[in-house]
Chain A
Amino acid sequence: MARLSEENVRLAKEIIGRYPRARSATIPLLHLAQEQDGHVTNEAMAHIGELVGATSAEVYGTASFYEMFKFEPVGKYLINICGTMSCALMGAEELMHHAEHRLGVKLGGTTDDGMFTLERAECQAACTEAPCLQVNYRYRFRVTDADFDSLVDDLKAGRLNDEIPAHGTVARVRQHIPVDRGVGAVPPEDVTEAPTWMDGKAAL
């Protein structure tokens, strides 16, 4: 817990290497920290500050701008029920009410077993499929109370482990930039020639 693990430090350095300025890697590193611990710890933020050359306060200021970075432990599954217009018209309020009863927590709370955290989200851009929700940012559409119950049962039973990883792994899809394609730590103003892989094609 706490600071980034040795493996993640290696990864962090690789990520930092993709940017001309180390600070630009702050947000990817925050994702890495959240992936490690399920939430972003103070120690991890201080560690990220050391890695990118920023103060802890600057890292915290950046991280706290984003709702999806959590600073307190959340459940293994973060359920976001949409609360915006279309979903509200199609019964999101009632669904939330049902979810609170089913999980035994109030909106914003985490179940005692640490499995579920219930949140309301703003529009998730699936208005045609209202009411919708996300579990660890994976969609569920036209959710009825029965759908919700079976979703909770499936998650508890581990039947969705392949589809829905534990919270924090939203950044699982990681870029792997071949060595000859990475710009590396070069200030943009110092780049005078197009990268070799461009083969004379015009820059975008």
Chain B
Amino acid sequence: MTTTEPTPEVVVDPNAINITINGRPVAARKGELIIAAADRSGDYIPRFCYHPRMSSVGMCRQCLVEVEGPRGPMMVVSCMTPVAEGQVVRTETDQVKRAQEGIIELLLANHPLDCPVCDKGGECPLQDQAFSHGPGESRFIEEKRHYEKPIAISDLVLLDRERCILCDRCTRFADEVAGDALIHFTSRGNNTQVQTFPDEPFSSYFSGNTVQICPVGALTAQPYRFKARPWDLEKTESTCTTCSVGCRITLESSRDELLRYQGVDSDPVNHGWLCDKGRFNFESVKSDARLSNPLVRDGASLVETSWSSALSTAASIITSALRSGGATRVAVLGGARGTNEDAHAWAKLADALAIDSVDAQLGDGLPAAVLAYPQATIDDASRASTIILLSPDLKEELPILYLRLRDASEKKRSRILEFAPKGSGLTRYAWKSVPYMPGNQATVVASTLSESSVSAQMAKGSVVVVVGRSNLAESDEYTMAALDAVMAAHPSATVLPVLRRGNVRGALSAGLGRRDAVDILTDAANGEIDCLVLVGSDPIADFPDTDLARRALAAVPNIIAVDTFATASSAKATVLLPAAAFGEKDGTTTNLEGRVTRLARKVTVNGTSRPDWMVALELADILGHDLGATSVAEVHADLVSSNPVFGPATRAALSAHPDGVVLAPLATAPSIPVAPPVAEKPGFGHRLVVGRKLYDNGRNVSESPSLAPLAPGSALHMHPLDLERLGAADGASVKVSGDRTSIVMNVVADDSVQRGTVWAAWAQSGANIGELIDATKWVNDVKVETL
């Protein structure tokens, strides 16, 4: 009897394709383009129009290569030609070189060659490739094409059509990636040019990306024009903390001044894109309005003083509050705008002093329990077969997440099922958009999910629930109840929480979410708080119930504010400490999916500003507590060792993974929310919905001269039929009344608003909608009257 050795099974990948590039074998994948395969194998092919994150168009012809064909070698455009089994590609033959030189000569025929005065000079693909792959000379002696030198195609972007080589990158980006096809090729032949529609600017939230991907100097950004030459810029990689998406960026500075941010292609997060708010708000870091020295109250005014005296004043305020009534007399609000280390240091200080009234959110987020559900990453969401939105308008609040989900829908990977009180940026991409009256979402969610078409869709594959605060004028419990309705119908769903403040997830995970800000401010208003510490927070501007915030701050005898700017809230402060801003401090941050990445310091702090963590450590020291750290590295080490959630985010891990380390969900079990009452439809009035616009009165917009004018201002949005019923004209002033007060606003017809509701944007100049929000109510109704 013989035994046969089992032959090892050879696994053949059906998508594997073997090609040869410049004589070397290269393993490629079915459907891959030659240029992408060559990029991986290290054979650089020059290109202008090809961009790996967009579709190929073969516009510039610079990537011609030679491919062996049945009748000998032939020239093909490598960004349009997919690999094929046995393909023989040559990228450096004489014929390829002749072709490349010919294309460069043609592209330069009409190019003005004004490199000495061009912002792109020094980092320009056309300039670089003219040197590396160009003929060195031109035979073109005729008059070049002339156009008016730069024309503004939006408030932020200028277009110099003479420099343009018509690569289609910006127009493709606008159409495919941003979904705002507001620029397009116009005319034909020699007159072809990129243009907007007459009097309709390229007012996309993503316009700055076109400047970054322009392979010539045709598109320039207003905030950076003529500020620096590329070879003078020093660059450091960091993470944008404007919102909680956490896009990877480079901070670029010259002479200790931030001059621009550029997107870095982080595969799990931003794919290289940035929103204009994140890209251009570096201007606020160097604002003249920044605080530069500590201030202490002397009678009616705040006077400059030294750090040591300001800190000892602060410490004595805290000490006397603790002595007078114990730890319940002290509260800390904020921390969501800092680093993980800032949050950890303040959490440790609160621990040391046994302070329980601590919240990093200002009544505008969700309970920290949302971080304890099974978590999804942005990638999980963009690959899910069903994305359920229980979120605010992502285009306005978390623009790059909007791009990722829009892409998932456009590429037909995912279907979006949206539940919203008002149409959002994603509504037009949604498979199904279900409106609800605020207060009724859990019921609407449950009944929609029980429809057979919806449950069939959800059974097709993974389900990710994107959950955030869609309305500041209702209790957050409604969102939690709606989330629970989804989880009850589909227990295997995962959750992507979209709390919006830069590092809110880091702050909550570090322990800065112990008690709801609504309760803290109510206590304060009742005179039960003696000392309120504001760590980069401004309740009067940011807390939805403006009246409560104002009463609370008026009733607190001593406020200690740590902030980059003087705010409405810090105007009442006893001690005002200047904080280091983004770009001025090292550390780590946590994005909305729990991804910890590194932040970098690029410029010197403004004046004597100090990072928040340092303020906490020094205060602790004066108060007689040693927090066991003296540097940001030590605070980070302590965070990683003492807080199990941050355990994986060690220095070594972060160095090894520039895209970051994703944290596990919080260990605490989700609290069972109080089942909020289903709110009746408003009788006479309209139910109030308050959301956000990308550009608002936040300091990083209002202190950035390029962005500040883009904020739309305060207005009341109403369905056109409701407006007709009211008898008011579009744009007229109307009186909007809540229970406490009334304000006058301009009314705007907007058919994305549901009938029976009105919508207003938060934090806009003009009438403050926060005056009408009562945080103690489940929902807020208002009455709208003509004047």
Interface residues of A, Cβ cutoff 8 Å to B = 42, 45-46, 54-61, 64-67
Which of A42, A59, A64, A66 lies in contact with B199, CB distance below 8 A? Answer: A42
With A54-B181, A55-B181 already in contact, the answer to whether A60 and B199 are too (CB < 8 A) is no
Closest B-chain residue to A71, C-beta based?
B198
Closest B-chain residue to A42, C-beta based?
B198
1/0 per residue, CB under 8 A from A, across B572-593: the answer is 0000000000000000000000
With A54-B181, A55-B181, A58-B181 already in contact, the answer to whether A64 and B197 are too (CB < 8 A) is no
Closest A-chain residue to B194, C-beta based?
A61
Instruction: Report Cα–Cα, A67/B187, bound state, in Å.
Output: 8
Instruction: Report Cα–Cα, A64/B187, bound state, in Å.
Output: 5
Q: Which residues of B contact A55 (CB under 8 A)?
A: 180-182, 184, 197
Which of A42, A54, A61 lies in contact with B186, CB distance below 8 A? Answer: A61
Interface size class of B (residues with CB under 8 A): 10 to 19
Q: Which residues of A contact B200 (CB under 8 A)?
A: 46, 56-57
Residue from A46, A58, A60, A61 with most neighbouring chain B CB atoms (10 Å): A61
Residue from A59, A65, A67 with most neighbouring chain B CB atoms (10 Å): A65
In the complex, are the beta carbons of B184 and A61 less than 8 A apart? Answer: yes
Q: Which residues of A contact B187 (CB under 8 A)?
A: 64-65
In the complex, are the beta carbons of B197 and A57 less than 8 A apart? Answer: yes
Closest A-chain residue to B200, C-beta based?
A56
Q: Which residues of B contact A66 (CB under 8 A)?
A: 188
Q: Is the interface of A mostly helix, strand, loop or mixed?
A: helix
In the complex, are the beta carbons of B188 and A60 less than 8 A apart? Answer: no
In the complex, are the beta carbons of A57 and B196 less than 8 A apart? Answer: yes
Instruction: Kindly count the residue-residue contacts between A and B in the assembled complex, taking CB atoms under 8 Å apart.
Output: 43
Instruction: Report Cα–Cα, A61/B184, bound state, in Å.
Output: 6
In the complex, are the beta carbons of B188 and A64 less than 8 A apart? Answer: yes
Q: Which residues of B contact A57 (CB under 8 A)?
A: 181-184, 195-197, 200
Q: Which residues of B contact A58 (CB under 8 A)?
A: 175, 181, 184
Nearest CB of chain A from residue B316's CB, rounded to whole Å: 62
CB within 8 Å of A: which B170-209 residues: 175, 180-188, 195-200
Listed by A's residue number, 20 A-B pairs whose Cβ atoms lie within 8 Å are: A42-B199, A46-B200, A54-B181, A55-B197, A57-B182, A57-B183, A57-B184, A57-B195, A57-B197, A58-B181, A59-B197, A60-B186, A60-B195, A60-B198, A61-B184, A61-B185, A64-B187, A65-B188, A66-B188, A67-B188
Interface residues of B, Cβ cutoff 8 Å to A = 175, 180-188, 195-200
In the complex, are the beta carbons of A42 and B197 less than 8 A apart? Answer: yes
With A60-B186, A65-B188 already in contact, the answer to whether A45 and B197 are too (CB < 8 A) is yes
Q: Which residues of A contact B181 (CB under 8 A)?
A: 54-55, 57-58
Q: Which residues of B contact A42 (CB under 8 A)?
A: 197-199
Q: Which residues of B contact A45 (CB under 8 A)?
A: 197
Instruction: Report Cα–Cα, A64/B185, bound state, in Å.
Output: 9
Nearest CB of chain B from residue A165's CB, rounded to whole Å: 27
With A54-B181, A55-B181, A57-B181 already in contact, the answer to whether A46 and B197 are too (CB < 8 A) is yes
**CB-based closest 8 A-B pairs:** A61-B184, A56-B197, A64-B186, A57-B197, A57-B184, A55-B181, A65-B188, A64-B187
Nearest CB of chain A from residue B148's CB, rounded to whole Å: 17
Q: Which residues of B contact A59 (CB under 8 A)?
A: 197
Instruction: Report Cα–Cα, A19/B351, bound state, in Å.
Output: 68
Instruction: Report Cα–Cα, A201/B175, bound state, in Å.
Output: 41
Q: Which residues of A contact B196 (CB under 8 A)?
A: 57
Instruction: Report Cα–Cα, A46/B199, bound state, in Å.
Output: 11
Known contacts A57-B181, A58-B181, A60-B197, then 5 further A-B pairs from the complex at CB < 8 Å, ordered by chain A residue: A56-B200, A57-B195, A60-B186, A65-B186, A65-B187
Instruction: Report Cα–Cα, A54/B184, bound state, in Å.
Output: 12
Closest A-chain residue to B175, C-beta based?
A58
Q: Which residues of A contact B182 (CB under 8 A)?
A: 55, 57
Instruction: Report Cα–Cα, A59/B198, bound state, in Å.
Output: 12
Closest A-chain residue to B191, C-beta based?
A64
Nearest CB of chain A from residue B248's CB, rounded to whole Å: 30
Instruction: Report Cα–Cα, A176/B219, bound state, in Å.
Output: 47
Instruction: Report Cα–Cα, A142/B195, bound state, in Å.
Output: 41
Instruction: Report Cα–Cα, A16/B198, bound state, in Å.
Output: 25
Instruction: Report Cα–Cα, A46/B182, bound state, in Å.
Output: 12
Instruction: Report Cα–Cα, A61/B198, bound state, in Å.
Output: 11
Closest B-chain residue to A62, C-beta based?
B184
Instruction: Report Cα–Cα, A55/B200, bound state, in Å.
Output: 10
Instruction: Report Cα–Cα, A186/B154, bound state, in Å.
Output: 38
Closest A-chain residue to B199, C-beta based?
A42
Instruction: Report Cα–Cα, A64/B196, bound state, in Å.
Output: 12
Closest B-chain residue to A55, C-beta based?
B181
Instruction: Report Cα–Cα, A55/B180, bound state, in Å.
Output: 8
Closest B-chain residue to A54, C-beta based?
B181
Nearest CB of chain B from residue A45's CB, rounded to whole Å: 7
Instruction: Report Cα–Cα, A33/B358, bound state, in Å.
Output: 63
Q: Which residues of A contact B183 (CB under 8 A)?
A: 57
Nearest CB of chain B from residue A60's CB, rounded to whole Å: 5
Instruction: Report Cα–Cα, A61/B197, bound state, in Å.
Output: 8
Instruction: Report Cα–Cα, A86/B433, bound state, in Å.
Output: 62
Closest B-chain residue to A61, C-beta based?
B184
Instruction: Report Cα–Cα, A57/B187, bound state, in Å.
Output: 12
Closest B-chain residue to A46, C-beta based?
B197
Closest A-chain residue to B182, C-beta based?
A57
Instruction: Report Cα–Cα, A111/B199, bound state, in Å.
Output: 29
Q: Which residues of B contact A61 (CB under 8 A)?
A: 184-186, 195
Closest A-chain residue to B183, C-beta based?
A57
Nearest CB of chain A from residue B84's CB, rounded to whole Å: 26
Closest B-chain residue to A65, C-beta based?
B188
Instruction: Report Cα–Cα, A99/B185, bound state, in Å.
Output: 35
Instruction: Report Cα–Cα, A59/B184, bound state, in Å.
Output: 9
Residue from A45, A46, A58, A66 with most neighbouring chain B CB atoms (10 Å): A58
Q: Which residues of A contact B195 (CB under 8 A)?
A: 57, 60-61
Nearest CB of chain A from residue B256's CB, rounded to whole Å: 41
Instruction: Report Cα–Cα, A60/B202, bound state, in Å.
Output: 14
Closest B-chain residue to A49, C-beta based?
B197
Nearest CB of chain B from residue A8's CB, rounded to whole Å: 20
Nearest CB of chain B from residue A25's CB, rounded to whole Å: 17
